[in-house]
Amino acid sequence: MPDVLVAGKDVILRARIYGDGAWKPVEIVVDGGVVAGVRGVGMPGASGPDVSLRPDANLVDMSDYYLTPGLVDCHVHLAMDAHSLQDAVKGWPDEAGTAVRVASRLGAYVRAGVVLVRDGGDAAGIGLAARRMVGEEAIIGPRVVACGRALYKKGRYGDFLGPGIGSLDEGRAQLDGAAKDTTHVKICQSGIVSFKRFGEVGPAQFELDELTRLIGYAHDKGLSVMVHASGAEAVDIAVRAGADTVEHGYFITRETIRLMAERGTVWVPTFSPLANLISRPELLYAGASLDVIRRAVDDHKGKIAHAYGAGVRLAVGTDAGAVGVEHGASVYDEIEHMVSAGIARHDVLRMAVEEGRRVLGDAGAHRDGYLNSWRPGDFFSGVFFRRDPLLCPISMADIEATCLPPAII
């Protein structure tokens, strides 16, 4: 099992990091969980060897391993168990049991090298509680950006995510409350993809004017908006209404892809909830068709390949907690699904490191050199791989350790 390291006071970390087309030896000097300097030959932004520490500084020699910044999963559900939504919801009233289960899920992310996640919400506020567990209760886990309770139209898909709204006034009231407790919100603009009939999702939940008003109000409150949307109409409305990120996006059209590229909308395609079931058909519900799922995944791959070529911003999100999508480990499933869609492996890793941080508001993401972006003054976190993550498929079995700063732990 991968170790969890804490880069505390007076630490020198030795490893190999990537720069100028090759992996090179480097020493990262960490003091109190904060980068004090980077010592290495030819590394962009590296400081010189004059960074001083006490003579008894702790040397952590990981020079045989490949070090990258920790990964980011832009779409998870910490309230869900990856086996049964209904059973998970039944367990929510058991607060003590839920806390134990959530702590276990948080630990799974760290063991997988994931140091930052965005929770897509739940009606019980469990994602918000998970954020507090990591930030205030010293539970080991990734930093959690939590959306709280999602907005959706009453009577439509989303009852396990929030109370539902019956009017724009109710939506604005819910956003007023969200702005007091979070920085990101989720709006459901469609249902889920049918596993019985190819291409079927159902009609959009909100008209263009309604969704534009909701997103505009959220933006006025300083909230970033992720929009759950699949189906041509729902995705197109989400993009035109100003969504910051579109989640899922199955059956998107090429015209909407063009619009996403033009507007800078981020697409989080979440392959795993469908693609993972292809190898685990025993998890399918009665009447579901494996052929329909395969067709939907193949269609999605073609659309992602087109979006990649068109310059659409793409980020890695697993929808972990959905059936067949395990917390933590599934980030590597998602990476491989995106590679299989024709995206270069180094670009997928960039999406899982840099683009995810940009989506979630981490200022350190706005730098060149995403694999060696540590700078003095940053909190240090990273993941040590036993194999070159740019060369071949990787999994949790390839992780030697994940390093978190004391500020996260």
Q: What's the pLDDT score for residue 339?
A: 98
Tally of helices (H runs) and strands (E runs) in the chain:
12, 15
Say how far apart CA 188 and CA 173 lie, in whole Å: 17
Instruction: Please state the pTM of the whole predicted model.
Output: 0.94
Q: Return phi, psi of residue 171, to 5°.
A: -65, -45
Say how far apart CA 212 and CA 341 lie, in whole Å: 31
Strands (E), 285-385: 313-314, 382-385
User: What are the tens digits of pLDDT across the range 179-220?
Assistant: 999 999 999 999 999 999 999 999 999 999 999 999 999 999
Q: What's the pLDDT score for residue 363?
A: 57
Residue keyed to tokens 């760290």: 110
Reduce the DSSP state of residue 290 to 3 states and report it: helix
Task: Indicate if the pLDDT at residue 232 is higher than 80.
Answer: yes
Say how far apart CA 106 and CA 143 lie, in whole Å: 9
Residue keyed to tokens 């965005």: 118
Cβ contacts of 42-45, under 8 Å, gap ≥ 24: 43/17, 43/19, 43/372, 44/19, 44/20, 44/368, 44/369, 44/372, 45/369, 45/372, 45/375
Q: Letter for the amino acid at 269?
A: P
User: What are the tens digits of pLDDT across the range 13-61?
Assistant: 899 999 888 999 999 988 888 888 888 744 444 444 445 556 667 888 9
Lowest mean pLDDT among 5-19, 51-65, 77-91, 317-331: 51-65
Say how far apart CA 384 and CA 94 lie, in whole Å: 36
Exposed/middle/buried for residue 125 (C-beta within 10 Å: 0-12, 13-18, 19+): middle
Run of H or E including 119: strand 114-119
